[in-house]
Amino acid sequence: MKEDSSQSKVHSSQFEKYSAQTSDDALIEQFFSQARTLEIADDGFTERVMRRLPDRAMQLSRLWTLFCLVLGAVLLIGFLMFQGWLPVVLWLNNLIHETFTNVHPVPIFVTFGAFCSLAVAELANRLYAEC
């Protein structure tokens, strides 16, 4: 009997904590919902500041464009200096031939199997999360 009364006290104290927490959450939500609709008159100061802030996406876009232009110019100069695609094709052919003739197939199959098992596990996790 004593165990039942102690368990009920534990359950009631947990319920009181939960109800107090939810009432606190409701009070906080009510307070901030009123502040959310409040607009402070600042004579357009906020808009002026936001317009003067640097647009990071635009800066990154400009840097990326500059990088691509420089890379394209270097490739064009290299293409013209080395007489077209022939040296590039020969280099790639040599690279592929030297790289893949000395590779043992077992590590490739093991790696492929590991990736497949990870993909199946991820798929199972996603399907389980949807249920």
CA dist 65 and 36 (Å) reads 40
The CA-CA-CA angle for residues 10, 16, 20, to 5°, reads 150
Nearest one of 75, 99, 100 to 88, comparing CA atoms: 75
Per domain, the residue ranges of the chain are 1-38, 86-131
- Answering whether pTM is above 0.75, one says no
pLDDT for res 68: 94
Neighbours of 14 (CB within 10 A): 10
CA dist 79 and 117 (Å) reads 43
User: pLDDT confidence of 16, banded at 50, 70, 90?
Assistant: low
Is the four-CA dihedral 26, 27, 30, 36 of positive or negative sign? negative
pLDDT for res 121: 92
Q: Which two tokens mark 87?
A: 């040296």
Distance of CA 23 to the CA centre of its chain: 35
Nearest one of 122, 103, 124 to 114, comparing CA atoms: 122
Flag whether pLDDT at 50 surpasses 90: no
User: pLDDT confidence of 24, banded at 50, 70, 90?
Assistant: confident
User: pLDDT confidence of 6, banded at 50, 70, 90?
Assistant: low
Q: Which two tokens mark 114?
A: 């590991």
Flag whether pLDDT at 65 surpasses 90: yes
User: pLDDT confidence of 69, banded at 50, 70, 90?
Assistant: very high
